[in-house]
Structure 1
């Protein structure tokens, strides 16, 4: 991608600027809903397809692996095609991938899952770079809105699944919604094709960040916060159930993670963009996350909503900080895309290990204490990587023309 113009491409063009905001937010809303919608429908889907629990788990594990593997290829794609076109194609592939998850053939469902995960991986990487290109002086606000919309899209996928299932008595209806929605969003991306200064560069430059210390700090921060979030999202209900809470209490506490994270999704990037360095935010994020896990480790049934609230604060703040680092530590759009690709590739591979690692420790020990202790130790690693990433230093890539 080209370097964005200093003032952005929408100066004096409020209508197209508003369309760009809507397009970015609609794309963000599609990045989790089609994945998480199957979680509440697990019983109906397994019964309809006659598949085992391990076979069903592939529908949630494979996308994370796609995130890790495909993300690293996105800078290569942006050197050949404009990011606006890639965004449009990504939305269409999301629609196709979700559509294939509606059929009765498990092999086609797996193919759809791979397409869905790959398309989301492309958009995951592209959007921070497009925020930098479209709104160079509003990166904090736009990153916050993107983070909130990402969380809200995931929430819609979960919260609408059961009401739609009960209304239509068919598990395919809530899933099909996420096949139709991306096609509607494409309409808002078509005007973005004509936005100048953001397309494929005339002289493509390969941006490599693999030797940059700041890039590695951001990568580890992204990876450890992803490990933390996906571990909690997977196992918090089970942890609470095994400590005497009923299903309703466990479900309510888990829902609090997403609910409480929303204001932090919005305001942390805005604050981060105004700060010379973000170390105060890194420390605050560490403290609330540490308290939440320590509470679960100490006495999970004493105040489950309180522990879940602290976990939600930490997850929302950490994700927003990681996304902010992608744009704040980059000089231009190409660097932001390369940094996003590197951090998300390794980050989501680490995230895929989280639920598996904690589940294995639970099976071996017979309790959750050691698994939660691991998360406490990893929070120290997240603090250290965030402390380094928060320095007001831009990445210094190795560059070579192709």
Structure 2
């Protein structure tokens, strides 16, 4: 029987409770402020007179921020305690979300840079904190984290149109994501006091991740599942509206991608941590996603069903990718470095997703070719996942 590992909060139940609360509150801010734009595309473009290229910049820039800033997070943790980084990131999300409703375009661009950079910091930091704070419960905590992340994204999409209608202004749902981060600060203020007492900066990882085929496979899986999610989050409402659904119906169907993914978010990492070989999970996730995309291509009138399949597949893929950061790492430092690499290079892949899908729609005046491309990318994602999910760690 293995000896339970001790984390920095071991023996302090109240601190563990604060860490659980803090991680969940941070996670709820990681997607909502980005995906809220999807149902509001036409409102924003008509109100601010944005061109298609300007709007594409706003949807793609956060992913480029993820790619650039993610690589810097391990360096930041050697100088700044993780709770202070989380606090700073939450404040930046709030400021960025507020700026994104203020014309002219350069101001909105600055807000987008702030929110993208802040989310990048949290994207990398939280999986490492899960392994550090809860070394014996990484599966459960990754599940809770993923559920909260997807719930935040689902709320962002689902509330967008009702809040716009209630306040008669598209800025109302956008400003929700400027207020919410401020309500999430208190637990991290307490955790900052704990960390400041005995913080030991992490040492550099001894494994050269750039020479590890397994690290690259995890990176590919992370990047392709992100490209899939952000392509769907950006364009699914438009796909459905073009196929005859109302704004409200399209927004509801799009929200299902996030809300139906919650069970997969919760269960996938719990199951993964109990399996020696996670490749069967990769197969199941692939088949579910394939069903959703194929359904949208062949029978778009059943959008709710296909959106639900896509949500289950995307939710499972995200949670499995996050779980692999811990499962394939031997310590917290290695997990943080792998998270940084996978998200830095991975989001370079993801950044092209919405742009290419939008360009294909413009070129073909339809969505069929774009959906076929997403099907092809699912096959490549499946191949990367089968390599990443093989038993073993980065060192072997």
TM-score (structure 1 length as normaliser): 0.89
Summarize the Cα distance change of 1:370–1:198 in structure 2 as closer, same or farther, 3 Å threshold. Answer: farther
Q: Specify every segment of 5 or more residues in structure 1 that has no aligned partner in the other structure, as ranges.
A: 398-402
Q: 2:139 corresponds to which residue?
A: 140
CA distance in 1, matches of 2:220, 2:198: 29
Alpha-carbon shift at residue 383 of structure 1 (Å): 1.4
Summarize the Cα distance change of 1:198–1:109 in structure 2 as closer, same or farther, 3 Å threshold. Answer: farther
CA distance in 2, matches of 1:297, 1:45: 28
Q: 1:96 corresponds to which residue?
A: 95
Q: 2:181 corresponds to which residue?
A: 182
Q: 1:306 corresponds to which residue?
A: 305
Q: Specify every segment of 5 or more residues in structure 2 that has no aligned partner in the other structure, as ranges.
A: none
Alpha-carbon shift at residue 45 of structure 1 (Å): 3.9
**Corresponding residue SS for 2:83:** helix
Q: 1:289 corresponds to which residue?
A: 289
Q: 2:17 corresponds to which residue?
A: 18
Alpha-carbon shift at residue 305 of structure 1 (Å): 2.5
**Corresponding residue SS for 2:260:** helix
Q: Tell me, yes or no, if structure 1 residue 265 matches structure 2 residue 265.
A: yes
CA distance in 1, matches of 2:202, 2:350: 36
User: After the TM superposition, which of the residue ranges 129-138 and 292-301 deviates more from structure 2?
Assistant: 292-301
Whether the 8 Å CA contact 2:289–2:313 is kept in 1: the answer is yes
**Corresponding residue SS for 1:160:** helix
Whether the 8 Å CA contact 1:133–1:198 is kept in 2: the answer is no
Whether the 8 Å CA contact 1:326–1:340 is kept in 2: the answer is yes
Q: 2:209 corresponds to which residue?
A: 209
1:196-235 Cα distance to aligned partner (Å, 9 max, x none): 5984427656764111111111000011111222222233
Q: CA RMSD in A?
A: 2.4
Alpha-carbon shift at residue 365 of structure 1 (Å): 3.8
Alpha-carbon shift at residue 350 of structure 1 (Å): 1.2
Q: Tell me, yes or no, if structure 1 residue 60 matches structure 2 residue 50.
A: no
Alpha-carbon shift at residue 308 of structure 1 (Å): 1.9
Q: 1:385 corresponds to which residue?
A: 384
Summarize the Cα distance change of 1:299–1:118 in structure 2 as closer, same or farther, 3 Å threshold. Answer: same
User: After the TM superposition, which of the residue ranges 92-101 and 112-121 deviates more from structure 2?
Assistant: 92-101
Number of residue pairs matched by the alignment: 392
User: After the TM superposition, which of the residue ranges 53-62 and 339-348 deviates more from structure 2?
Assistant: 53-62
Whether the 8 Å CA contact 2:63–2:116 is kept in 1: the answer is yes
Alpha-carbon shift at residue 61 of structure 1 (Å): 1.8
Alpha-carbon shift at residue 155 of structure 1 (Å): 2.0
Alpha-carbon shift at residue 48 of structure 1 (Å): 4.7
Whether the 8 Å CA contact 2:26–2:90 is kept in 1: the answer is yes
